[in-house]
DNA sequence: TCCAGACCTCAAAGCGCTTTGGCTTTTCCC
DNA sequence: GGGAAAAGCCAAAGCGCTTTGAGGTCTGGA
């Protein structure tokens, strides 16, 4: 069923039917009602490409997910992020176009997406330290929102939604210090990513303001896998002076830490304390009623919702000022932290 | 830059330029070359909506991800599935449209997608026992491929790519029986899902052919979370006759089992054996060089690739016969299984 | 009664592309 | 050299929608 058919069926012109459906005031309420009913009855939905062609607006946003070619890993938080964003898209009747792009060919991919003209805006995932994508998108003139940030310099010149990574890891480190820990390991994400850099800063800040030093041999950086958590922990435990507490950049890394401690015959929360960062993923809940892991928690799904909302704004009025949302993580006390063991 | 501009620039008609770019034989190689070069140089990409309108083909496939409203969980395997599928889409120059649909409104969502006419085919995720979506899509006449299956009756009447769930769990169970285990717990997924039903069957078959019984109190079914693995395991351990081995439907559930055993002071692979199903997710690798968990393994990313390939075929020639691919899972021996303890 | 102004409705153009059908030029073979 | 076939190119229609500019009808005030 298309507009033409529907309108002849109703004995009206396409114009009138189109206007009735799109809420224009030039059509009487009686007519509008009739049209609406008929549309519903015949399951009519405007052809989205035709509408896009006519209006120049697609009602579609793009999500470009970088695929680390080195590690072949897609960031698992993206599932929940998307789930959050699509709540908004569903409400606003937007579609979501997904592109997974090997990180080598990113620039080209963005240009292509822009040239194809099938999306009204994009959400940028996984920003690196000084991510060229941001300059590129600004140059192209495509509305976008970044999930995360990238560097400091031009932060005010684009919209972003980020978690306060620095502060979260500073608080977590502080918490461990308050418990008496002095040697604290950090299992960070890849430190070419902005979020990892910021977390490292928070960690360092807390140590320094407590008069402690950042020990290189306690700082790891890698793709966040269980295996990484496991092997890095074992390595640290084998040190002359092993850490009494560990900070892990994700709950999955935390699983690996748990397994390593288990293997080493150490009791988690007693012999070694552990704090993880918890993205509050739906399929990786940190416990049901009470938290398992002591964690810094910030819902990535919520971030998805906010990003989507801001992008919608930006699309409907590109002249609107840029928006910046900094979400604070909560510190949640679970069963994996305790006072530093006396030695 | 659009076709018109490009063609006047070249001093050719739109027809010729279009044909040159799309590889039609009516244009000389010399001209084609010139056109190609100019297109590249000016970064010309055909407007995808316009092309869609003209051809009726969108070069876009839809993925409809069900969101369990009851549990608010998006299946985490879908990240890797998508990554696999997009390798194919990238190669074939297809786009991917994503829709996350609360499971209550699925039928409506599919109809809407069809009416909008923005995709040439869809991939159906997470089929339930007798999934109405399949009949619906056939009625609508939209090409589709199911990741998984749904019931037995009409399996030959649509294309699907599935893992041999029954056989995988039968083998795993058999393996445990061979190790001397007699009481084997099953932490299954939600048993309204086809895959979970099939796994249960495999488990039961192996028990029965070994002359054992399926004990109701050892069979769990739920959304596959870490917490579920933890609490179900604790419950089973509290039984009068606890299991000596556990089968978990995902590696995440396996993490929970590990934690429970840890809490109970039991040694995994010694006091209690564990086999998990491993979807070979990029961010949840079951160990690096050697596997950690004994597991049935089948790459969901591979399944994504195959689904996408079949869908491409189906779209380019809808009369082609349906295809059915049944992937066999390997049984991988890790460190979580051992002989049943003497009691 | 007449006309301005609301109020509705419509025909047609245009979005950027593909494709049909036709035209001109070249090539080939007898 | 002549005719037919092949090669190369083009104008124009059409995909389904929105939107402009114009027209028709109805009301109410002068």
Cα A115 to the chain's mean position, in Å?
26
Q: What is the pLDDT of residue B338?
A: 97
pLDDT recorded at residue A62: 95
Enumerate the domain spans of chain B: 3-39, 60-162+300-327, 165-299
Token readout for B173 is 């169970």
Helix (H, G, I), strand (E, B) or coil at A104: helix
Same topology between domain A60-163+300-327 and domain A165-299? yes
Which residue of A274, A276, A282 to mutate against B (max B Cβ within 10 Å)?
A282
CA A80 – CA A98 distance, rounded (Å): 14
In this complex, the nucleotide whose C1' atom is nearest to the CA atom of residue A26 is C8
Q: Is residue B104 predicted with pLDDT exceeding 90? A: no
Handedness of CA B194, B249, B163, B269 (dihedral sign): negative
What is the token pair recorded at B265?
């002071």
**Residue B61, pLDDT score:** 95
Q: pLDDT at residue B250 above 70?
A: yes
- DSSP, res B73: B
Contact between residue A118 and residue A286 where contact means Cβ atoms under 8 Å apart: no
State the helix-helix crossing angle for B29-41 and B3-10, rounded to 10 degrees: 120
Strand C CB shell (< 7 Å): A 11-16, 19, 26-29, 31, 50, 53-54, 56; B 2-4, 14-15, 18-19, 21-22, 26, 44, 46-47, 50-51, 53-55
- Cα separation, B186 vs A282, in Å, equals 22
Closest-CA distance of chain A to residue B290, Å? 11
- Rounded to a whole number, what is the distance in Å from the CA of A255 to chain B's nearest CA? 7
Q: Which nucleotides of C are covered by protein (CB under 7 A)?
A: 7-22
Confidence of residue B155 (pLDDT cuts 50, 70, 90): confident
Average per-residue pLDDT for chain B: 93
Phi, psi dihedral angles at B284 (to 5 degrees) = -140, 45
- The fold for domain A60-163+300-327 equals Rossmann fold (3.40.50)
- Helix or strand or coil: residue A147? strand
Distance (Å, whole) CA B280 – CA B306: 16
For domain B60-162+300-327, the question of CATH label 3.40.50.2300 is answered with yes
Q: Which residues of A touch B96 (CB under 8 A)?
A: 97-99
Cβ neighbours for A190, distance < 8 A, ≥ 6 positions apart: A68, A196, A221, A222, A223
Return the residue of B nearest to A229 by Cα: B287
Longest dimension (CA), chain B: 89
pLDDT at B71: 82
**Between the CA of B1 and the C1' of C29, what is the distance in angstroms?**
45
Q: Return the minimum-mean-pLDDT range out of A293-307, B123-137, B176-190.
A: B123-137
CA of B114 to C1' of C20 (A): 28
The pLDDT assigned to A294 comes to 98
Confidence of residue B152 (pLDDT cuts 50, 70, 90): low
From the C1' of C9, which residue's alpha carbon is nearest? A16
The DSSP secondary structure of A269-285, one letter per residue, reads TTTBEEEEEE---TTS-
Q: Which CATH architecture has domain B165-299?
A: 3-Layer(aba) Sandwich (3.40)
pLDDT at B235: 98
pLDDT at B153 (0 to 100): 62
Strands A273-278 and B159-163: unpaired
First and final C-alpha spacing in chain B:
78
Kindly determine whether residue A74 and residue B283, on different chains, have CB atoms separated by under 8 Å. yes
Q: Do B43 and A111 touch (CB under 8 A)?
A: yes
By the 10 Å C-beta count (0-12 exposed, 13-18 middle, 19+ buried), B253 is classed as: buried
**pLDDT tens digit string along B258-311?**
999 999 999 999 999 999 999 999 999 998 889 999 999 999 999 999 999 999
Q: Which nt is closest to the CA of A56, judged by C1'?
A: C15
Copy the structure tokens of residue A325. 């949302």
pLDDT at A342: 85
Q: Which nucleotide is nearest to A7 (CA to C1')?
A: C10
| CB-based contact A199:A224 (threshold 8 Å) | no
Chain Cα centroid distance, residue A138: 20
**For chain A, which ranges sit under pLDDT 70?**
152-153, 343
């Amino acid at each position: 069923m298309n507009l033409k058919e529907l309108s002849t069926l109703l004995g009206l012109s396409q114009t009138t039917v189109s206007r009735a459906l799109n809420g224009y005031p030039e059509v009487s309420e009686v007519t509008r009602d009739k049209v609406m009913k008929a549309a519903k009855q015949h399951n009519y939905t405007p052809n989205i490409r035709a509408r896009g062609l006519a209006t120049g607006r697609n009602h579609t946003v793009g999500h470009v997910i970088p695929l680390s070619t080195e590690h072949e890993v897609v960031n698992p938080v993206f599932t929940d992020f998307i789930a959050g964003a699509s709540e908004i898209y569903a409400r606003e009747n937007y579609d979501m176009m997904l592109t997974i792009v090997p990180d080598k060919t990113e620039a080209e991919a963005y240009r292509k997406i822009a040239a194809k003209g099938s999306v009204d805006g994009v959400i940028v995932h996984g920003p690196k330290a000084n991510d060229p994508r941001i300059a590129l998108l600004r140059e192209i003139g495509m509305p976008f929102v970044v999930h995360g940030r990238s560097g400091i310099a031009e932060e005010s010149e684009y919209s972003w939604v980020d978690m306060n990574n620095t502060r979260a890891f500073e608080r977590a480190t502080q918490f461990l210090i308050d418990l008496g820990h002095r040697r604290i390991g950090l299992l960070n994400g890849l430190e070419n990513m902005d979020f990892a850099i910021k977390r490292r800063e928070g960690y360092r800040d807390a140590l320094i303001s407590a008069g402690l030093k950042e020990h290189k041999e306690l700082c790891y950086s890698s793709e966040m896998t269980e295996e990484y958590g496991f092997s890095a922990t074992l390595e640290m435990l084998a040190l002359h002076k092993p850490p009494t507490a560990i900070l892990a950049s994700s709950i999955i890394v935390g699983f690996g830490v748990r397994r390593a401690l288990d293997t080493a015959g150490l009791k988690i929360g007693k012999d070694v304390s552990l704090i993880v960062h918890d993205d509050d993923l739906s399929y990786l809940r940190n416990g049901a009623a009470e938290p398992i892991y002591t964690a810094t928690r910030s819902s990535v799904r919520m971030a998805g919702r906010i990003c989507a909302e801001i992008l919608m704004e930006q699309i409907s009025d590109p002249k609107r000022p840029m928006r910046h949302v900094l979400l604070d993580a909560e510190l949640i006390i679970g069963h994996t932290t305790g006072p530093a063991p006396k030695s």
